[in-house]
């Protein structure tokens, strides 16, 4: 029964899911049409809103690109790849390979979403090399499925934004509901959040394993196609080459970086902001690649996976601009219309649940944690405060909603797919099952929180 459901989802997606860029264009058209009756604006006004918004997320786009690139470069360090190979060697059967891939993907994405996306795909490819009879599509889908917890982890942009000091920025982002930074102990490390993450970490690997096709339906990959060309390093001869290959240069930066981090955490506690997370992975990458030129090559390779992000992020910024466009200062926007609907039917008990569901819907059109926060924070945070809901809970409900529907929004699968050499159609059917399971866990969690 379970395999029939997963096979049905795979067939459905294969037939109807277009290329992610086409999907982005379709969403642009849908929002364009839907925003006009919601705002009372005409076509020319919506086109202007779209065009003016295309470049609104450049700074945040750079932060997100760095999360991906720095995480990718670190994951491709020889020592890390050696660890990955060792982990893959424990997968003796296809079912065990799916379980191991999913478990480590969830764990890695919780630590850092960019690192998790990459190391999960690298682990999956290594397991595909070592294990015969494993379905490659499900293997890569399992590597991506861990991404469902990213916004509840320590690189989650919404909890990190709430933890970042700056009264003016917090007031603007939350519609005045939050004036002081909220510690990550109340968001990422809150007991309810850790419990939901733990349930997914323990259960999702076995759910993915249950979807493994029978032997006659398996689509595997020739291990020879997965062998990567090793970089050949010649002995440095010129003074410039000796400097490039000297670990001393890397050591100077690494020591300076470690000193900064020690002082930062002494003065700020364990307060992770997006910039600090990026800084940590920058320093770790420099340390693990040992020499400057090796890290340069790693970064160069890592940037290739960001091509889809670079192309599509401006379009999603334009979509976000249309979602938030108001004809007048006191007018309605499409995003506020969606959010206000959920607010209007919510109580203090159901508000966290409805915040999560509304965020899941908005995420289809704004698949960016920061963009999601910019759209919903000023609406949902004051509404939650008025109902007596803890702002930390409201923020995490939005964060979980943003991560949840990534399972059927191909935007963030692009890096993993690029590494694996697959298309979105190959994995999204399996990810639908992850969406159903995680949705039950998260909805149940936030409903219980509302009741407490």
Between 172-186, 225-239, 306-320, 351-365, the lowest mean confidence (pLDDT) is in: 225-239
What confidence score (pLDDT) does residue 229 get?
A: 56
What confidence score (pLDDT) does residue 10 get?
A: 66
Residues 6+ apart with CB under 8 A from 83: none
Cβ atoms of 422 and 136 within 8 Å: the answer is yes
Least Cα distance to 387 among 340, 348, 344, 346 occurs for 348
Least Cα distance to 66 among 292, 259, 305, 321 occurs for 305
Asked whether residue 91 carries a pLDDT value surpassing 60, the answer given is yes
More confident of the two residues 89 and 270: 89
What confidence score (pLDDT) does residue 323 get?
A: 81
Q: What integer is the mean pLDDT of 253-279?
A: 85
What confidence score (pLDDT) does residue 107 get?
A: 94
Asked whether residue 279 carries a pLDDT value surpassing 60, the answer given is yes
Between 63-67, 99-103, 327-331, 392-396, the lowest mean confidence (pLDDT) is in: 63-67
**Phi, psi of 297, rounded to the nearest 5 degrees:** -65, -35
The DSSP result for 381-393, as a single string, is HHHHHHHT--HHH
What confidence score (pLDDT) does residue 120 get?
A: 87
Report residue 272's pLDDT band, with 50, 70 and 90 as the boundaries: low
In the DSSP assignment, the letter for residue 146 is: G
Q: Which of 275-284, 323-332, 390-399 has the highest mean pLDDT?
A: 390-399
Asked whether residue 74 carries a pLDDT value surpassing 90, the answer given is no
Q: Which of 69-73, 84-88, 333-337, 396-400 has the highest mean pLDDT?
A: 396-400
Cβ atoms of 168 and 129 within 8 Å: the answer is no
Report residue 254's pLDDT band, with 50, 70 and 90 as the boundaries: very high
Residue-wise pLDDT tens digits, 32-41 = 999 999 898 9
What confidence score (pLDDT) does residue 80 get?
A: 86
Helix ranges, 211-270 (H): 239-244, 247-268
What confidence score (pLDDT) does residue 141 get?
A: 93
pLDDT, the chain, mean: 85
What the block records as the tokens of 382 is: 């004051």
- 148: burial class by Cβ within 10 Å (0-12, 13-18, 19+)? buried
Q: What integer is the mean pLDDT of 324-338?
A: 81
Terminal C-alpha separation, the chain: 36
Q: What integer is the mean pLDDT of 363-382?
A: 78
Asked whether residue 367 carries a pLDDT value surpassing 90, the answer given is no
Asked whether residue 89 carries a pLDDT value surpassing 70, the answer given is yes
- Percent of the chain beyond pLDDT 90? 34
Q: What integer is the mean pLDDT of 224-246?
A: 67
Asked whether residue 5 carries a pLDDT value surpassing 80, the answer given is no
Other Cβ atoms less than 10 A from the Cβ of 294: the count is 22
Structural domain spans, the chain: 2-221+239-451
- 251: burial class by Cβ within 10 Å (0-12, 13-18, 19+)? middle
Q: Which of 12-26, 51-65, 93-107, 207-221 has the highest mean pLDDT?
A: 93-107
Q: What angle do CA 411, 303, 276 make, to 5 degrees?
A: 85
Between 2-11, 44-53, 59-68, 188-197, the lowest mean confidence (pLDDT) is in: 2-11
Q: What integer is the mean pLDDT of 181-186?
A: 89
Asked whether residue 222 carries a pLDDT value surpassing 70, the answer given is no
Radius of gyration of the chain from its Cα atoms, rounded to whole angstroms: 22
Residue-wise pLDDT tens digits, 313-328 = 788 788 878 887 888 8
Cβ atoms of 291 and 245 within 8 Å: the answer is yes
- Percent of the chain beyond pLDDT 70? 89
What confidence score (pLDDT) does residue 69 get?
A: 84
Residue written as token pair 């699968």: 413
Other Cβ atoms less than 10 A from the Cβ of 56: the count is 17
In the DSSP assignment, the letter for residue 250 is: H
Residues 6+ apart with CB under 8 A from 382: 174, 175, 176, 177
- 199: burial class by Cβ within 10 Å (0-12, 13-18, 19+)? middle
What confidence score (pLDDT) does residue 335 get?
A: 76
Other Cβ atoms less than 10 A from the Cβ of 347: the count is 11
Size of the chain in residues: 452
Q: What integer is the mean pLDDT of 114-128?
A: 84
Helix ranges, 345-423 (H): 351-365, 369-387, 391-404, 414-420
Residue written as token pair 């096979």: 7
What confidence score (pLDDT) does residue 234 get?
A: 65
Enter the pTM of the model.
0.81
Q: At what angle do helices 307-324 and 58-75 cross, to 10 degrees?
A: 150
CA dihedral 427, 98, 197, 347 (to 10 degrees): 40
Asked whether residue 97 carries a pLDDT value surpassing 90, the answer given is yes
What confidence score (pLDDT) does residue 67 get?
A: 75
Asked whether residue 270 carries a pLDDT value surpassing 60, the answer given is yes
Helix ranges, 55-178 (H): 58-75, 78-88, 94-111, 113-130, 136-145, 157-163, 167-173
In the DSSP assignment, the letter for residue 76 is: T
Residue written as token pair 């924070």: 377
């Amino acid at each position: 029964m379970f395999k029939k459901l997963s096979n049905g989802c795979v067939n459905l997606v294969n037939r109807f899911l277009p290329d992610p860029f086409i999907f982005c264009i379709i969403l642009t058209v849908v929002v364009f049409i839907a925003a006009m009756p919601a705002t009372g604006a005409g076509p020319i006004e919506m086109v202007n809103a779209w065009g003016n918004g295309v470049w609104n997320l450049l700074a945040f786009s750079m932060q997100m690109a760095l999360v991906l690139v720095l995480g990718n470069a670190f994951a491709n360090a020889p020592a890390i790849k050696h660890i990955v190979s060792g982990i893959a060697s424990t997968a003796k059967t296809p079912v065990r390979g799916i379980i191991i891939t999913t478990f480590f993907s969830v764990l890695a994405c919780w630590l850092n979403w960019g690192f998790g996306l990459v190391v999960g795909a690298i682990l999956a490819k290594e397991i595909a090399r070592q294990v015969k009879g494993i379905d490659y599509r499900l293997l890569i889908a399992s590597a991506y499925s861990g991404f469902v917890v990213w916004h509840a982890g320590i690189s989650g942009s919404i909890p990190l934004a709430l933890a970042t000091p700056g009264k003016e920025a917090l007031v603007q982002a939350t519609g005045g509901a939050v004036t002081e930074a909220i510690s990550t102990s109340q968001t990422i490390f809150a007991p309810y959040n850790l419990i939901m993450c733990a349930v997914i970490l323990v259960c999702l690997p076995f759910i993915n394993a249950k979807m493994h096709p029978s032997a006659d339906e398996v689509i595997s990959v020739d291990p020879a196609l997965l062998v990567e060309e090793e970089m050949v390093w010649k002995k440095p001869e010129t003074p410039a080459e000796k400097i490039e290959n000297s670990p001393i240069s890397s050591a100077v930066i690494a020591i300076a970086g470690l000193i900064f981090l020690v002082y930062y955490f002494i003065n700020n506690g364990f307060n992770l902001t997006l910039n600090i997370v990026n800084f940590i992975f920058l320093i770790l990458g420099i340390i693990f690649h040992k020499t400057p030129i090796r890290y340069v090559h790693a970064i160069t390779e890592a940037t290739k996976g960001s091509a889809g992000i670079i192309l599509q992020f401006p379009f999603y910024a334009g979509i976000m601009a249309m979602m938030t466009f108001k004809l007048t200062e006191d007018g309605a926007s499409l995003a506020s219309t969606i959010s206000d609907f959920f607010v209007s039917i919510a109580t203090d008990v159901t508000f966290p649940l409805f915040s999560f569901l509304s965020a899941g819907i908005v995420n289809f059109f704004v698949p960016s944690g920061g963009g999601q926060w910019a759209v919903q924070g000023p609406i949902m945070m004051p509404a939650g405060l008025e109902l007596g809901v803890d702002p930390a809970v409201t923020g995490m409900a939005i964060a979980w909603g943003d991560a949840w529907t990534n399972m059927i929004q191909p935007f963030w699968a692009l890096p993993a797919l690029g590494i694996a050499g697959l298309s979105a159609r190959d994995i999204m059917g399996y990810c639908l099952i992850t969406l159903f399971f995680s949705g039950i866990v998260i909805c149940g969690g936030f409903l219980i929180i509302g009741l407490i």
